């Protein structure tokens, strides 16, 4: 299980159970958990790119892969590394179907 998922479970159950005990059960550090909580309010830096990719996928019917999305974005004047586009597409589940 990913650490971020463990932190989210701890966050959801913080009112019922002790944070220290849940951190021990999930084998994560308390400082890591509190760092995760402090980062929750910070928006993802790749969200604007994900919105542009979503716009592209909506227009093409989710048939474009990351290479064609990269070309589409370049024509709009938005320059990113193709591998960055691929990772954002994977993160936000925007891959072609």
pLDDT at 44: 82
Nearest Cα to Cα of residue 87 among 45, 58, 33: 45
Q: Give the pLDDT confidence of 18-47 residue by residue, as tens digits.
A: 999 999 999 999 999 999 999 888 878 899
What share of the chain has pLDDT > 70, as a percent? 100
The CA dihedral of 20, 42, 5, 96, to the nearest 10 degrees, is 180
In this structure, what token pair is assigned to residue 20?
A: 């220290």
- Between helix 66-75 and helix 82-91 the angle, nearest 10°, is 120
Whether residues 52 and 26 share a domain: the answer is: no
Confidence of residue 96 (pLDDT cuts 50, 70, 90): confident
Q: What rounded mean pLDDT belongs to the chain?
A: 93
Question: In the predicted model, is pLDDT for residue 97 greater than 80?
Answer: no
Tell me whether residue 96 is in a domain: no
Whether residues 83 and 51 share a domain: the answer is: yes
Q: 13: domain range?
A: 3-39
Whether residues 33 and 53 share a domain: the answer is: no
State pTM to two decimals. Answer: 0.64
Can you tell me the mean pLDDT for 56-67? 94
């Amino acid at each position: 299980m990913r650490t971020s998922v463990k932190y989210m479970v701890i966050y959801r159950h913080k009112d019922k159970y002790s944070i220290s005990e849940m951190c021990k059960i999930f084998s994560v550090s308390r400082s890591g958990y509190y760092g995760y909580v402090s980062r929750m309010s910070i928006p993802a830096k790749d969200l604007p790119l994900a919105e542009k990719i979503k716009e592209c996928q909506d227009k093409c019917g989710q048939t474009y892969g990351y290479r064609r999305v990269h070309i589409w974005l370049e024509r709009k004047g938005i320059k990113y590394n193709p591998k960055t586009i691929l990772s954002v597409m994977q993160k936000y589940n925007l891959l072609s179907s």
